[in-house]
A and B are shown apart, each in its own frame.
Chain A
């Protein structure tokens, strides 16, 4: 089915809608041309799947309920190799089950988008409540060395927009891209405006004849470290394996040099663009002595804390990470030269806090909250003193 934004908009309905974060993930995906969804129900992400089941067939795309999350991530990777823009959404337990195949998507350089509507763990934890406990798992959960991209929106509008962006980044870098929201944003309703137009990036396809195609070699028409994608069924006869492979795609499991070359390339294609991928929102930072560093749901609480502090005349600033991975190292380094103290606000026992500490050259403290309730502004300001 050919992508046509007018058709998508018609299926989505009114231009202004009062929707929740899960619906925004679904809308964003469809606006980005997503045409394959493989899912498995889980609170608080089920509504993404339910909305997809309703809307996707009307647009000619595929929405299928798989037998578990291992299969749902597998199905979207398989679909991606036929050229589909594919998507799934899940939460903690499902996210854990997907880890092995995330690594497969990384080493095979398969564009896929995954939303994690986070809930409290470990294990089944607090199914209906929000948390930010998977921020390290998304980066390090699968085995071996790799890089991914993870975005952390904090409004419903942004959730929709970041989902569109996630599809573009997945196509551009041939990498799994994650949208990390949580149960609160997933179920919270806000007014959104559906865009009139959407700019889309399509993965680069080979232009050479199949005998000259090097499926995992240097990119020729776009980024040097991102090879062209030979869509299955177009005659390129690509062998795609999760084993360490050479540029032809053939197993090279005993070859130190090939492994080094492959793994470094799939990491560097992301880290080379770390600056470009860095996305930060600042408020009241001009004269700030203390910076509240936060992301996602915790940044909404931080905003409350910021306002309260400013009313009291305290020189507090707000520094929100809109992308988490690749980690905005330089931005944190630079921030630490401007303030005396950084308070990292997050809904876990300290995850991104450790990354901030690694790159900040000033005092860094953690304002942590778990149990399914967001921080109160007072709780955050207690760490500012």
Chain B
């Protein structure tokens, strides 16, 4: 994180000055952590979309990823572990004119917060969720998460994880989200575009960011430093369009080599009225 924050990888000094709380520095993130990139991309998307920061509220649960809003100069509610979407539903329903952006970790979002996550998606409430997937419980020191791949190690899976992992993005689609994208942090432009798309979508937008946790995850697995994790993303992900082509037209060999890769890109787009619009219409009718 340090590098991005101090030198400005994408957003640069201008964005940092405009959006970050200087008083909160130094930040708490480890060297090599992907959270700085995620923050950077979100701020860049906000800048491009010209969001009014007086009308934008950030929410988060508990975890490293959930500490991001603390660094942004805006209203923010840093809530309880897994519950940010419940709070966010209250904020958005009570004042639909506010832009609502939620940061959540994988454990926060699909572990302890899974129930709130599927229901917020089902309601298609107009908020944008940035779910940082580092495949581990980072803040508490590397216990396995519901996203940890089978066979990987965590402090609570010292002999290797024997559970099947969740695919958060597929879950979001199944539950009713109207914009879903997944990107690893090593590509800046596509995630920024997806976040922008998510902010523009009038409904529940879910952007899963695959983000390296060197300290609690990489160290215990095969990825000793940040480069190993970035290489993992490069070698084990495939764009949705490419995946579909290979599965349709590829040889058996090609299909075999592809089938277990993590599909990235814009995964889902749909058009559906968000809950708060439907509620407003109902109220309007009743009050006439």
Q: Are A78 and B54 within 8 A (Cβ)?
A: no
In the complex, A222 has a CB within 8 A of chain B: no
Closest residue of chain A to B118 (Cβ to Cβ) is A67
Q: Are B95 and A240 in contact (CB under 8 A)?
A: no
Stretch in contact with the other chain, from B85-93, B129-137, B212-220 = B85-93
CB-defined contacts of B87 to chain A, threshold 8 Å: 74-75, 77-78
Given contacts A66-B119, A71-B116, A238-B75, 7 further A-B contacts (CB under 8 A): A57-B282, A57-B283, A232-B77, A237-B73, A237-B74, A241-B78, A248-B23
Kindly state the separation between the CA atoms of A47 and B1 in the bound complex, as whole angstroms.
51
- Of A81-89, A286-294, A336-344, the stretch lying at the interface with chain B is A81-89
Does A68 count as interface, using CB distance less than 8 angstroms?
yes
C-alpha gap A235/B95 in the complex (Å): 15
Contact with B along A229-250 (1 / 0, CB 8 A): 0101111111111110000101
In Å, the complex CA distance between A108 and B75 comes to 13
A57 and B89 contact, CB distance less than 8 A: no
- Please name all residues of chain B whose beta carbon is closer than 8 Å to the beta carbon of A71 when the two chains form the complex: 83, 85-86, 89, 115-116, 119
Q: Which residues of A contact B282 (CB under 8 A)?
A: 57
Q: How far is the CA of A82 from the CA of B89 in the complex (A)?
A: 12
The answer to whether the Cβ of B234 comes within 8 Å of any Cβ in the partner chain is no
B interface residues, Cβ below 8 angstroms from A: 21, 23-24, 53-55, 57, 59, 69-70, 73-80, 83, 85-91, 93-95, 97-98, 115-116, 119, 279, 282-283, 286-287
**The one of B78, B80, B89, B287 that contacts A60, using a Cβ cutoff of 8 Å:** B287
A-B contact pairs, 10 of them (CB 8 A): A35-B94, A60-B287, A64-B93, A66-B119, A70-B86, A71-B119, A77-B90, A78-B59, A82-B98, A233-B75
Binary B-proximity of A302-324 (CB < 8 A = 1, otherwise 0): 00000000000000000000000
Whether B95 and A82, one on each chain, are in contact in the complex, defined by CB atoms closer than 8 angstroms, is yes
**A358 in the interface (beta carbon within 8 A):** no
Task: Answer whether residue A95 sits at the interface, using C-beta atoms and an 8 A cutoff.
Answer: no
Chain A interface extent, by class? 35 or more
Which chain A residues lie closer than 8 Å to B283 at the CB level?
A: 57, 60
The residue among A77, A236, A238 with the most chain B CB atoms within 10 A of its own CB is: A77
A79 touches B (CB below 8 Å): yes
The one of B53, B55, B74, B94 that contacts A62, using a Cβ cutoff of 8 Å: B94
How near does chain A come to B90, taking the closest CB pair, in angstroms?
3
The yes or no answer to A104 lying at the interface (CB within 8 A) is: yes
Taken together as a complex, chains A and B put the C-alpha atoms of A249 and B30 apart, in Å, by 23
- With a cutoff of 8 Å between Cβ atoms, the chain A residues found around residue B77 in the complex are 77-78, 81, 108, 232, 240
In whole angstroms, how far apart are the Cα atoms of A83 and B98 in the complex?
12
Residue numbers in A under 8 Å from B85 (CB-CB): 71
Contact B83 A74 (CB under 8 A): yes
A36 to B23, CA, bound (A): 34
Given known pairs A100-B80, A235-B54, the reply for A66 and B73 (CB within 8 Å) is no
Q: Are B70 and A233 in contact (CB under 8 A)?
A: no
Query: A232-276: which have CB < 8 Å to B?
Result: 232-243, 248, 250-251
Question: Would B89 and A66 count as touching, CB distance under 8 A?
Answer: yes
Residues of the A chain whose Cβ atoms lie less than 8 Å from the Cβ of B279: 57, 62, 64
CB distance from B240 to the nearest CB of A (A): 30
Asked if A378 CB lies within 8 Å of chain B CBs, one says no
Closest to A73 in B: B86
- Residue A130 is within 8 A (CB to CB) of chain B in the complex: no
Residue of chain B at shortest CB distance from A69: B86
Taking CB atoms and an 8 Å cut-off, the chain A residues in 358-382 that contact chain B are: none
Inter-subunit contact B74/A233 (CB<8 Å): no
A128 CB–B CB distance under 8 Å: no
Contacts of A351 in B (CB 8 A): none
Q: Tell me if A76 counts as interface (CB < 8 A to partner B).
A: yes
By a CB distance below 8 angstroms, the chain B residues around A57 are 279, 282-283, 286-287
Nearest-neighbour CB distance to chain A for B203, whole angstroms, equals 17
* B90 adjacent to A78 (CB under 8 Å): yes
Proximity string of chain A (117-154) to chain B, C-beta cutoff 8 Å, 1 when within and 0 when not: 00000000000000000000000000000000000000
Separation of A77 and B79 alpha carbons in the complex (Å): 10
A38 at the interface (CB under 8 A from B): yes
Which residue in B69, B75, B287 is a CB contact (below 8 Å) of A232? Answer: B75
Is A251's CB under 8 angstroms from B70's CB?
yes
Q: Look across to chain A and name the residue whose beta carbon is closest to the beta carbon of B283.
A: A57
Q: How far is the CB of A212 from chain B (nearest CB, A)?
A: 14
Nearest 10 Cβ contacts at the A-B interface: A78-B90, A74-B86, A75-B90, A71-B86, A78-B87, A79-B94, A241-B78, A79-B90, A82-B95, A67-B119
